[in-house]
Chain A
Amino acid sequence: MNGLYQLAVVFGVLVVALTIAAGLIWLERRLLALWQDRYGPNRVGPFGLFQVLADMIKIFTKEDWTAPFADKATFILAPAIIVVTVLLSFAVVPFAPGIVVADLDIGLLFFLGMSSLGVYSVVLAGWSSDNKYSLLGGMRAAAQMLSYEVFMGLSLMGVVVLAGSFSLTAIVEAQRNLWFVVPQFLGFLLFMIAGIAETRRLPFDLPEAESELIAGYHAEYSGMKFGMFFVGEYLGIILISSMITVLFFGGWLGPVLPGIVWFLIKVFFFIAFFILLRAALPRPRFDQLMSWGWKVMLPLTLANVLVTGALVLAFA
């Protein structure tokens, strides 16, 4: 009975995450269109909502072309890795009291670990494609994600100090009086920037920069294998938005409405913000991206850890 219940929660979380990810394709195109003063998809179904279904049918029936010059096993494995690792991270996200797959004591570490594993997908995709542009995209992805991963973990140190726990449920509960975004505003900004870089979203989408690397690491992919990179990217946006909500904006906490509704409202706010960033910001040069990460973000994160420590001592 207990096992069945857990299986139901697992399925529920994964199906909802995948459905929202598919819906985001439509949402992103509509919002981008809104901000760029055009219509976006509005033909298939009400408000173009069935565009998602049409796209899915189309991408599944496209030719599943495996590059004959590629390293076959790795080529097929790479898109699967990104989908699996991101889906796994959802195991520790507490959506509402009781609605969590596994409330691990080390929830935060589990999330960081899974997001590190995601690097393999992009690097292996770039390498196995046996295409110069893909390889460059893969190398860029490796350098970018490693650099931003360093302070992604460090930027959450302040939250852990304040909550005294890695358990995401405990972190949410610790925010009953005050959302952590107030004492940890710098930490929030740092984590958000690291999160955008980790999901390779604009303005940090240099691994696939279409104006210089064609499509970077997934230039040789087609059909659903190509689609899986996008499923992974959209799942990544949902995941980072959920983590921002959980760590800095009190998760499910909020008046009147049930917890899950508050959680979704906050998550969709950040998803919309990510899309706005894509509409608003140009792409930096790669050396600018690396300099920004190492020379600005990293010292700031370390300073944030020390200042948080000092303030906790002074006030607690």
Chain B
Amino acid sequence: MPTSVAEEYFPVVLQVLVAMAIAGGMIAASALLGHRVRNPVKDQPYECGIQPEGSPRERFSVKFYLVAMIFILLDIETVFLYPWAVVYRELRLFAFFEMLVFVVLILSGFFYIWKKGALAWSMEEKPREKQ
């Protein structure tokens, strides 16, 4: 059995190194073995053989930005649930009601943003804006 943190994580460090070596080896091998033929058409962005139009670096509306925000909130909730799950059998009824209150609060917030239309992605679903 490992006795210290360093000893416990030593194999993980080994795994990191070997995995990086494998990935690096794959990229290097392909760079060394592949032949190269260049031509101007090949060096264009692929758009099904049609002349590329405009730049992808333009700004566009990211509908999922809101999703990212909600994700962070719910992920923090998940973080709270991890230690809860481990000690659940010791704390028993207390832990259960604590979690009940917590989840009910989270769910009420969740249904609120749902009704507000934060989870609507297609145009038909969006509730009409009230002026």
Check A164/B89 contact, CB under 8 A, given A63-B34, A302-B103, A309-B99. Answer: yes
Indicate if the CB atoms of B12 and A102 lie closer than 8 Å. yes
A276 at the interface (CB under 8 A from B): no
Contact between A133 and B47 (Cβ–Cβ < 8 Å)? yes
Assuming the contacts A6-B14, A7-B14, asked whether A60 and B33 have C-beta atoms less than 8 A apart, the reply is yes
- CB neighbours (8 Å) of B64 from chain A are 139, 142-143, 146, 290
Q: Which of A135, A224, A228 has the most CB of B within 10 A?
A: A224
Enumerate chain A residues within 8 angstroms of B92, measured Cβ to Cβ: 313
Give the complex CA separation of A91 and B22 in angstroms: 15
Tell yes or no: A37 within 8 A of B by CB. Answer: no
A10 and B11 contact, CB distance less than 8 A = yes
Verify if A214 is at the interface (C-beta below 8 Å from B). yes
**A153 → chain B, closest Cβ, in Å?**
5
Q: Which residues from A are CB-within-8-Å of B20?
A: 80, 84
Main SS at interface, chain A: helix
Per-residue interface assignment for chain B, residues 100 to 131, with 1 indicating a CB less than 8 Å from any chain A CB and 0 otherwise = 10010011001000100001011001000000
Q: Are B67 and A165 in contact (CB under 8 A)?
A: no
Chain B neighbourhood of A88, CB < 8 A: 12, 15-16, 19
> B103 to chain A: which residues have CB within 8 Å?
302, 305-306
Number of A-B contacts (CB under 8 A): 203
Interface size class of A (residues with CB under 8 A): 35 or more
* A143 CA / B66 CA spacing, docked (Å): 10
- CA of A306 to CA of B124 in the docked complex: distance in angstroms? 34
Q: Is the CB of A76 within 8 A of B42?
A: no
Give complex CA distance A79, B23 in Å: 8
Q: Are B12 and A91 in contact (CB under 8 A)?
A: yes
**Which residues on the A side are within 8 Å of B70 (C-beta)?**
294
Question: How far is B86's CA from A316's CA once the two chains are assembled, in angstroms?
Answer: 15
Residue of B nearest to A287 (CB): B121
| A234, B61: Cα distance in complex, Å | 33
CB<8 Å pairs between A and B, sample of 18? A13-B15, A62-B30, A67-B43, A80-B24, A84-B20, A88-B12, A101-B14, A101-B15, A104-B9, A131-B56, A132-B47, A153-B78, A161-B88, A220-B45, A228-B23, A291-B119, A298-B110, A309-B96
User: Contacts A87-B18, A131-B46 given; 15 further ones with Cβ under 8 A?
Assistant: A14-B19, A79-B27, A88-B19, A130-B57, A131-B47, A132-B47, A134-B56, A146-B64, A147-B71, A153-B82, A154-B78, A290-B119, A291-B119, A295-B119, A310-B96
- 3 shortest A-B CB distances, which residue pairs? A224-B30, A143-B64, A287-B121
